[in-house]
Amino acid sequence: MLNIKKVVIKLISLLIVLTWISNDIREVKASSIGLEKGELSLKQAINLGINRAKKWNDKASLINVNSVDETMGGSRGETGKRYKWFLNFIVPGTDDYLLLGISKGKITVFEQLKQLGQEQTIAYSDIKFDSSDLVRIAKDKYGLNPGKDWATGYHFTLRKIENTPTISVLGTDKDKLFTRITFDAKNSKITGVIYKVPYGGGLLSLQPGSNSSKIVKKSMAIMGITAGKEYLVTWGDRKPTQFSTTNHPFLEVCSNNGKRWSELDFNKYVKYAWFNANDELYVSTASEIWSNVTHKSNGTKILTLKKEIQNIDYSFNNNIAVLSDGMVYSTINQGDSWEKRPVPESIHSVQISDKGELFVFTQSRKILGKDSDKWEEISLPSIAGVPWDMKILKDKIVISTESGLWIRDVSGDIWEKRQVDEPIARLIKKGHYLFGITERGAAIYKLDLGNETIDKIEKVYEAKDIIVWDIDVFQNNLLIATIPDYSWEEMDTNTSKK
> How crowded is the C-beta side of 211, counted as CA atoms within 13 Å?
0
Could you report the per-residue pLDDT of 407-420, keeping only the tens digit for each?
Answer: 999 988 899 998 88
pLDDT-based confidence at residue 22 (cuts at 50, 70, 90): very low
In single-letter form, the type of residue at position 382 comes to S
Asked whether 177 and 196 are in contact (CB, 8 A), the reply is: yes
Percent of the chain past pLDDT 70, that is, above it, reads: 89
Q: Which CATH superfamily is domain 200-487 in?
A: YVTN repeat-like/Quinoprotein amine dehydrogenase (2.130.10.10)
CA distances from 383 to 210, 403, 416, 438 (A): 37, 8, 12, 20
Lowest mean pLDDT across 71-75, 282-286, 362-366: 71-75
**How much is the pLDDT for 433?**
87
Strand order in the sheet with 467-474: 214-218, 202-206, 477-483, 467-474
Q: Give 443's pLDDT tier (boundaries 50, 70, 90).
A: confident
**CA 176, 148, 283: angle at the middle one, nearest 5?**
85
Which is more confidently placed, 116 or 373?
A: 373
Higher pLDDT, 496 or 241: 241
What distance in Å separates the CA atoms of residue 376 and residue 38, rounded to the nearest whole number? Answer: 49
Burial degree of 320 (CB within 10 A; 0-12, 13-18, 19+): buried
Radius of gyration of the chain (CA): 30
User: What percent of the chain is predicted at pLDDT more than 90?
Assistant: 67
Instruction: For residues 105-115, give the mean pLDDT.
Output: 93
pLDDT, position 258:
64
Output the pLDDT for position 455: 61
> Which of the residue ranges 97-106, 148-157, 204-213, 310-319 would you say has the lowest mean pLDDT?
204-213
Distance CA 310, CA 198 (A): 26
Q: How far is CA 449 from the centre of its chain?
A: 33
In the predicted structure, residue 346 carries a pLDDT above the cut 70: yes
Tens digit of pLDDT for each residue in 365-389?
999 999 888 999 999 999 999 999 9
Q: What confidence score (pLDDT) does residue 110 get?
A: 96
pLDDT at 19 over 70: no
What does the pLDDT read at residue 7?
36
* pLDDT of res. 431: 85
**Which helix (H) or strand (E) covers residue 46, if one does?**
helix 42-56
Q: Looking at residue 412, what is its pLDDT?
A: 87
Domain ranges of the chain: 42-197, 200-487
What confidence tens digit (pLDDT) does each residue in 451-471 have?
Answer: 555 567 888 888 777 889 999
Higher pLDDT, 123 or 28: 123
Mean pLDDT of 158-182: 94
Going by pLDDT thresholds of 50, 70 and 90, the confidence category of residue 449 is low
- The mean pLDDT of 150-156, rounded to a whole number, is 92
Task: Look at residues 185, 92, 103, 195 and name the one whose alpha carbon lies nearest to residue 143.
Answer: 195
| Conformational region of residue 369, where left means phi above 0, alpha means psi within -120 to 50, and beta covers everything else | beta
Q: What share of the chain is helix, strand, coil (3-state, %, to 5)?
A: 15, 45, 40
pLDDT of residue 422 exceeding 50: yes
- Rounded to 10 degrees, what is the CA torsion of 425, 356, 446, 387? 20
